[in-house]
């Protein structure tokens, strides 16, 4: 079925990452829909992690020869290629251009970053949590690291994503990253005639007076660009405020910066962005 929304981005190449987990299903479907409306080419990447101590156990210690580990790795590789072939067939049936790529390395996120450096996509699409996601993180470790290191826009799509641009939420705390997110939100709203909601949470260093001043400034900018903007300045923790508004307003897409004023150096993402991605039921677009 042809998507009903217009192309929201200037987009010629999409890099979408898969690991055949249910979490990556929504990412690939989202890439197919965007490619169809934007005329973009899809690069479908399967980053197969290679665990040397797992694939090749010590024969002296465990009594297992290295060929057993090799057989296991070849089975994983064959399964990955079958997965890629199935998606390539799906893309072909929809008349889309797709290049599939299987890359093997010790760290999946490093292989994704390497592919992005070579392809230079207009957008990277990933699932929220893949097979190597760590339960202690609200976002899968691979997705978090890719967002933290890449200069490209990243769209994180939950498993059951149905892409739409009718209602968009953009979060801002006045940081450069959130300013980039706001500009992107304005551009998408103009192209898709979306309803745009700006959320600036009055919390921590950003008191209610500062929050209201910020949204007033951004509302003026939206008015100059003829974008109808609704502004909200709820109190409380930013991630809770953002996800609460997203749920109550039935938001289709959240747009955020990757490092806000509350970003923690020990995380690859700002903590607010990470928690929103982990809790939101809709896709989240992250910009630097």
Token readout for 183 is 């500009």
Q: Are 17 and 126 in contact (CB under 8 A)?
A: yes
Average pLDDT, the chain: 86
Which letter does DSSP use for residue 68 in this model?
A: H
The band of 267, judged by pLDDT with boundaries at 50, 70 and 90, is very low
* b/e code 184-193 from CB counts within 10 Å (16+ = b): bbbebbeebe
Residue % of the chain over a pLDDT of 90: 65
Q: Into which CATH architecture does domain 13-157 fall? A: 3-Layer(aba) Sandwich (3.40)
DSSP per-residue string spanning 148-177: HH-SS-EEEE-TT-----SEEEEE--SSHH
Mean per-residue pLDDT, 181-203:
95
The gap from C-alpha 106 to its chain's centroid, in whole angstroms, comes to 22
Residue 176: other Cβ atoms inside 10 A: 11
Alpha carbons 80 and 20: distance in angstroms, whole number: 7
Mean per-residue pLDDT, 142-167:
92
Burial class from Cβ neighbours inside 10 Å (0-12, 13-18, 19+) for residue 220 reads: exposed
What confidence score (pLDDT) does residue 187 get?
97
Which letter does DSSP use for residue 101 in this model?
A: E
Residue 92: other Cβ atoms inside 10 A: 11
User: Do 13-157 and 167-287 come out as alike in CATH topology?
Assistant: yes
pLDDT in tens, 50-92: 766 554 545 555 555 455 467 777 888 999 999 999 999 999 9
What confidence score (pLDDT) does residue 63 get?
53
Q: Is the pLDDT of residue 102 over 90?
A: yes
* b/e code 98-125 from CB counts within 10 Å (16+ = b): bebeeeeeeebbbbbbebbeebebbbbb
Q: Domain map of the chain by residue range?
A: 13-157, 167-287
In three-state secondary structure terms, 8 is: coil
Among residues 171, 192, 193, 143, which one has the least CA distance to residue 254?
A: 171
Q: Are 152 and 236 in contact (CB under 8 A)?
A: no
Mean per-residue pLDDT, 93-103:
96
Q: Are 79 and 61 in contact (CB under 8 A)?
A: no
Specify the CATH class of 167-287 in words: alpha beta
- Pairing type for strands 41-49 and 13-18 reads parallel
What confidence score (pLDDT) does residue 265 get?
39
Which letter does DSSP use for residue 12 in this model?
A: S
Quote the pTM value: 0.88
């Amino acid at each position: 079925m042809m998507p009903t929304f217009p192309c929201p981005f200037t987009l010629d190449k999409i890099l979408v990452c898969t690991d055949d987990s249910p979490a990556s299903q929504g990412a690939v479907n989202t890439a197919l829909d965007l490619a169809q409306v934007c005329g973009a080419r899809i690069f479908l990447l399967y980053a197969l992690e290679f665990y040397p101590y797992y694939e090749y156990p010590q024969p002296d210690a465990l009594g297992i020869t290295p060929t057993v580990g090799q057989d296991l790795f070849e089975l994983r590789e064959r399964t990955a290629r079958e997965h890629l072939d199935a998606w390539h067939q799906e893309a072909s049936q929809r008349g889309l251009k797709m290049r599939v790529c299987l890359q093997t390395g010790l760290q999946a996120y490093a292989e994704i970053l390497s592919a992005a450096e070579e392809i230079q996509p207009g957008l990277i699409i990933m699932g929220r949590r893949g097979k190597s996601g760590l339960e202690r993180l609200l976002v899968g470790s691979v997705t978090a690291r890719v967002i933290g290191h890449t200069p490209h826009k990243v769209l994180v799509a939950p498993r059951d994503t149905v892409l739409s641009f009718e209602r968009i939420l953009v979060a801002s705390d006045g940081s450069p990253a959130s300013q980039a997110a706001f500009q992107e939100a304005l551009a998408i709203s103009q192209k898709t005639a979306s309803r745009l909601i700006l959320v600036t949470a009055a919390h921590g260093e950003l008191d209610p007076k500062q929050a209201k001043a910020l949204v007033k400034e951004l509302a003026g900018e939206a008015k100059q660009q003829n974008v109808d903007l609704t502004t909200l300045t709820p109190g409380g923790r930013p991630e809770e405020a953002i996800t609460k508004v997203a749920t109550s307003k039935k938001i289709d897409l959240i747009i955020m910066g990757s490092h806000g004023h509350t970003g923690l150096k020990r995380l690859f993402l700002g903590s607010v962005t990470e928690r929103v991605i982990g809790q939101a039921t809709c896709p989240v677009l992250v910009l630097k």
